Structure 1
């Protein structure tokens, strides 16, 4: 397992896509012939349909797929630590970012994921599963879209998912960064995969031609500077490297 600290922000995957391109990319990043992949559906309340989609998507791939359900936890603290630290990939699903963080802290999962990250486990996820790694995020956890100054803080700054697909996301996130409600950060189009190594962008891939990752910052005059990072088109057979 790599000793570098790595995470991937996903704008898709088995949750939303049929082609499996982003999921294959994630598996390829491990450099393992049969990586261990744990799905964590906390943000959806461990929704059974979500778990079933994960199993349907990953059990046919060259990996060891498992699920961590905290609503029906069966592992004691020592076993939970051993289980999470044995994974090559921790893949977090979408739902409520605020609820996810609260439940993780109640079970000590936030500390364990930080330890796994420091040891080289690839952390990734979509929507709330992307938001959770940053210092802050743009979320609808409390109803209307707005800033959440909370997160694990493994990725400096903020994250905004669904940047191109949900009405109001782009102007609301830009406004929150402009007025300081959120720190500068990363806006993720649907269809993008962004790998960060030691908190710096290492790879950006896109499963659609228009999908992009954006760096959104204040421009020093009260406005916003938004910069798109080039994305490598993701096609069948293209996998990331360790």
Structure 2
């Protein structure tokens, strides 16, 4: 947590808003999506979904295949604890909704379903999209799958298992969005990234959650930024957003959201 606090102070000094962005593509994204203040109807559903999770005191046994939680290492946790401590925040879920709607993503891959707060937001943004979401913990996966059914989210395919094994056996296709929100370890993150760049097209977007989770996650982010296929990146502190647009000049942005 100390590492994150120091990095956040550095981020504040380096970051800018839309006035410091000179790329038309990124400027439009920041002003029309990141800073969009409209109160979308879907926001009520996103908030209600998380509220329901926060009120659920069902206990489950958690199997952490990744780095786990900064808050607790206990294997038995309540749904409400998971939603509060490791679930996607309402602010980020709303931003993910706006991003999904702005780019109209059709084929989405998510590494790390957890309780499905982010998945739910992406599903609402484009009900016609096809979302493949992978969760490593069997009990969380089973709970979330049932919750999706209760909310009639029919465009989500939830797969349980190790990310590496499932990624290698995915039906060959391209993804418009890949949301990396599971294993917060450097080697694993870079391995997933290298494997999944093969599924990227010119307009694909990769989002990496918690790039300042630890020193090694920041190192992974710095390595990703230097990849020859990557052109534009946006550091929002909590997310690292990656673009592969060949028509863009290679540039890295640090933007407050």
TM-score, L = length of structure 1: 0.40
TM-score, L = length of structure 2: 0.38
Q: Which has the higher contact order (CA 8 A, sep 6+)?
A: 1
Which is helix-richer, 1 or 2? 2
